[in-house]
Chain A
């Protein structure tokens, strides 16, 4: 049972997955409540393009991918402000175009294919100490931003149209949040890969949403669940010999399925209890009559 802990690469992988699982869930809470799941998916693809270009020109991966992500966010915001385009279409156009640039670069430089597969599907077991420090630093930065912007962020997420009238600079807060989202995707790229990031952003907050009606509690449950499933996914992947990123998402999907099933059983129990109470009341009325 303790075998995975004996290897340095597994220790680093479990720490990275726990951190990334927690931060993607934290940012994901705001993503799902604002019904922006599509932007997480799109940004992951967009940032892949940035990662590829950075790699090709020999630029720092994290910095290059982050700048690419920030530029994508800027373009999405600019395009979405035009009424004829709208948010969804802007995300679709910008992120797909940015992804396509990555594919185009790959097709011109086939020798990098293996590295790009790692970016697509994640390569958590190849994380070095330096990668871990950079990832932890980015996550700390995201956590500080979310800490400081918590109140306006909650306000905007709940009541976007009214936030300005309460003195919140909606445009600024939204831009900073979008940048934090881009940074989250970059931090998660090596752990989960482009194709799986959207699941990690969405599943833990959705599970938490099914469990509570209180926002602070939802946030805490989502973060704990994201971190725990990140750790558990990598741990389990050692024994089942399956890609770690995929195992993390499969563990999260299993938790979602269990929560959903439990919810269905609970609601049926509640329904049958109500029916029993109704029948008893009917019987009592009949006896009284």
Chain B
């Protein structure tokens, strides 16, 4: 078994993963270096969460080797749909669950733990919600609350399962901006997403899953290709590239572009309400531009 290199955080080689004897993913090779920002894309049920949780050592390993560098602190943010929002707990109490190992045999939290929680909540802009019950939060606030629980451990590797699902476009922008900021500060970020245009196309590296394996791994310009997307989603996709931007649209079988072409940008593009001087069309939340 090859040992994990000093410049590697995660190494999966020839891995087959699943639960209760059912293989969800096979022949997975994956290397993650410290400081990367990676998106995992693919249709529902393709194994995105399984791959993400394999970095936590959770799914059963049926073949291959999976290694995470020693002493790696991992923070995990689950899909908000899996949370019991009627549970009687406040934002600050959720955040402090992340540091449960600190004075683990005592039921109460120390002043230092509470201060640390307040600092993290402030960084995420939700310090004023510290005493609010979680059932009274909006979608974006919910995501930030669980992000706070992960960040309170000062993770080296941050895993997020659909961090932008169910939030509006402004909140999505803010969450991506915060993740990009964390990544710039040295945290390795791996997230799953269904949003190819709003999220995936802005990330520096994508892993596309489909047919129970990794179909492609690389920058969006290489991964968001019609043939790869059609294999992943089982439907022809229109891919439009305009400068650094990539747009993906599902198309009917008989429509132009249904034969695997990458089309040039449309000649006429109507832009409504773009501020003067913003010719590039990028956003400050674009993790790729933050990385550049």
Contacts and interface: CB of A to CB of B under 8 A. Distances in A.
Contacts of B107: 147, 150-151
Given A162-B76, A164-B58, A165-B74, A209 B88 contact: yes
User: B58, B87, B101 — which one has the most chain A CB atoms within 10 A of its CB?
Assistant: B87
A192 to B, nearest CB: 26
A165 B157 CA distance: 12
A214 B76 contact: no
A166 B53 CA distance: 12
Interface in B55-114: 56, 58, 74, 76, 78, 82-84, 87-90, 93-94, 97-98, 100-101, 104-107
Given A161-B78, A162-B76, A164-B58, A213 B100 contact: no
A217 to B, nearest CB: 8
Contacts of A212: 88
B276 interface: no
Main secondary structure of the interface of A (DSSP, over half): helix
Nearest to A209: B88
B135 interface: yes
Interface stretch (A66-74, A152-160, A196-204, A230-238): A152-160
B78 A159 contact: yes
Contacts of B78: 159, 161-162
B254 interface: no
B74 A213 contact: no
Contacts of A214: 88-90, 93, 133
B76 A165 contact: yes
B20 interface: yes
B135 A213 contact: yes
B100 A166 contact: yes
A23 B82 CA distance: 30
B82 A161 contact: yes
Contacts of A152: 100, 104
Contacts of B90: 213-214
Interface string A132-150: 0000000000000001101
| Majority SS at the chain B contact face | loop
A166 B106 CA distance: 17
Contacts of B153: 166
Contacts of B89: 158, 213-215
Contact of B56 (A83, A165, A215): A165
A165 B88 contact: no
B133 A213 contact: yes
Given A161-B82, A162-B76, A218 B88 contact: yes
A166 B76 contact: yes
Contacts of A157: 87
A184 B221 CA distance: 61
Contacts of A164: 56, 58
Nearest to A35: B84
Interface string B102-146: 001111000000000000000000000000010100000000000
A159 B76 CA distance: 12
Nearest to B52: A165
B210 to A, nearest CB: 25
B221 to A, nearest CB: 32
A88 B160 CA distance: 32
A58 interface: no
A155 B97 contact: yes
Nearest to B105: A148
A150 B105 CA distance: 8
Interface string A203-232: 000000100111110100000000000000
Nearest to B136: A213
A147 B105 CA distance: 7
A100 to B, nearest CB: 31
Contacts of B94: 158
A83 B21 CA distance: 12
B20 A83 contact: yes
Interface string A16-44: 00000000000000000100000000000
Nearest to A213: B133
Contact of A166 (B83, B84, B98, B133): B98
Interface of B: 20, 53, 56, 58, 74, 76, 78, 82-84, 87-90, 93-94, 97-98, 100-101, 104-107, 133, 135, 153
Given A147-B107, A151-B104, A154-B97, 16 more contacts: A148-B105, A151-B107, A152-B104, A155-B97, A158-B84, A158-B94, A161-B78, A161-B82, A162-B76, A162-B78, A164-B58, A165-B58, A212-B88, A214-B89, A215-B93, A218-B88
3 nearest CB pairs, A to B: A150-B107, A213-B133, A151-B100
27 contacts: A33-B87, A33-B88, A148-B105, A150-B106, A150-B107, A151-B100, A152-B100, A152-B104, A155-B100, A158-B94, A158-B97, A159-B83, A161-B78, A161-B82, A165-B56, A166-B76, A168-B100, A209-B88, A213-B88, A213-B89, A213-B135, A214-B88, A214-B90, A214-B93, A215-B87, A215-B88, A215-B93
